[in-house]
Amino acid sequence: MSRIIYYFSGTGNSLVVARDIAEKINGQCISIPSVIHQESIKTEADMIGIVFPMYHHGVLLMIKTFINKMDNLDKKYIFGVCTYGGSPGICLKYLERIIKSHDGKLAAGFAVQMPYNYIFPSFVLKDFFNSFVLREISTEKQQKMFDYWKQKLEKICEYVQARKEGELETKAEVIEHLVGSLLRDTLQKSVWLKVAGFKGKTNLPFQESIQLMDHGFRCDNKCNGCGICSKICPVQNIKMFDGRPVWQHHCQCFACLQWCPKEAIQFGSRTAQGKRYHHPDVKLSDMMIDRG
């Protein structure tokens, strides 16, 4: 019986979670960006874990594409783990729905709180759309999250090794359903695209329109042209022109901003002052994608 943990990670939180689970249940860890180019993703494993960060209260596009490409989902024990910064919402319900629409069954879904790697509004009324800053948390709070993860790891591994079913960790279901159906593709979409400085119009639903958020990225004069941003981008969204990154508008994560060794990548007007984040146990070399 083999076990595979597929993972996506922008700043290492989900990578650590995937790695720890794989080690504990004697499974193999595979990065989703390294297999996503395949026409169909086949595996002999009878147990599959899918580990990913929650983005904008939902499941990021790469995970949807990955599940679309999976073969034989109906014959597997599947569990999901989403890492999140603030609240898990109903992200795992969305995952359950996506897997079900491909004839699979999500046996269990767990949510793990980790440091937030995104921007956050400062809630100032004046110039609200330019008020977004990188969210920072204290080292103590961060360590508490990592310690809590170690405890939760035991629970998850025990649960999935016994092939139990039914656990699905969610929060504020009613509100999430309401916001999801009433505001996500309208108000939330227009606010985020405005924050990202996208001036055009798009009919894409909210989760897909996030690809356009890279209108908000630029690199400043600290850039030395090393090309690391382009190499670590999980969706090959950065091309280098004249030694500078140029974003191609199918964006997902924030990894480039967080990993640029010169802190030269900025989003909006206020990230130059903020601290960058990546999980302390993850190195830049762990983030490089081997596309075979």
Binding site for ligand SF4 (CB under 6 A): 214, 219, 223-229, 233-235, 237-238, 245, 247, 251-256, 260, 262, 264-265
- Provide the mask over 238-267, with x wherever binding to ligand FMN is found by CB under 6 A and - wherever it is not: ---------------xx-------------
- Can you tell me the distance from the alpha carbon of 15 to that of 116, in angstroms, rounded to the nearest whole number? 14
From candidates 27, 33, 85, 274, binder to ligand FMN by CB under 6 A: 85
Residues 19 and 29: beta-carbon distance below 8 Å: yes
Assess 117 for contact with ligand FMN (CB under 6 A): yes
One residue of 27, 33, 49, 53 binding ligand FMN per CB under 6 A: 53
Burial class (CB in 10 A: 0-12, 13-18, 19+), 208: middle
Residue 57 φ then ψ, to 5°: 65, 10
Q: Which strands, in side-by-side order, build the sheet including 77-84?
A: 28-31, 3-7, 47-53, 77-84, 106-113
Q: Does residue 170 contact residue 93 with C-beta atoms inside 8 Å?
A: yes
What Cα–Cα distance (Å) separates residue 44 from each residue in 41, 70, 206, 273?
10, 11, 35, 48
CB of residue 211 to ligand SF4, shortest distance in Å: 8
The binder of 104, among ligand FMN, ligand SF4, none, by C-beta within 5 to 8 A per type, is none
Backbone torsions φ then ψ of 59, nearest 5 degrees = -100, 125
Structure tokens at 25: 């249940």
Return the one option of ligand FMN, ligand SF4, none that residue 197 interacts with (CB less than 5 to 8 A, by type): none
- Selection from ligand SF4, ligand FMN, none that 214 binds (CB < 5 to 8 A by kind) is ligand SF4
Shortest separation between residue 159's beta carbon and ligand SF4, angstroms: 31
E strand or H helix at 175, and its extent? helix 173-182
φ/ψ of residue 267, rounded to 5: -130, 125
- In the complex with ligand SF4, the residue whose CB is nearer, 9 or 131, is 9
Inter-residue contact 5 to 51 (CB < 8 Å): yes
Per partner kind, with CB cut-offs from 5 to 8 A, the member of ligand SF4, ligand FMN, none near residue 57 is ligand FMN
Q: Is there binding between residue 118 and ligand FMN (CB under 6 A)? A: yes
**54 contacts ligand FMN (rule: CB under 6 A):** yes
Footprint of ligand FMN (CB under 6 A): 9-15, 53-57, 83-87, 114-118, 253-254
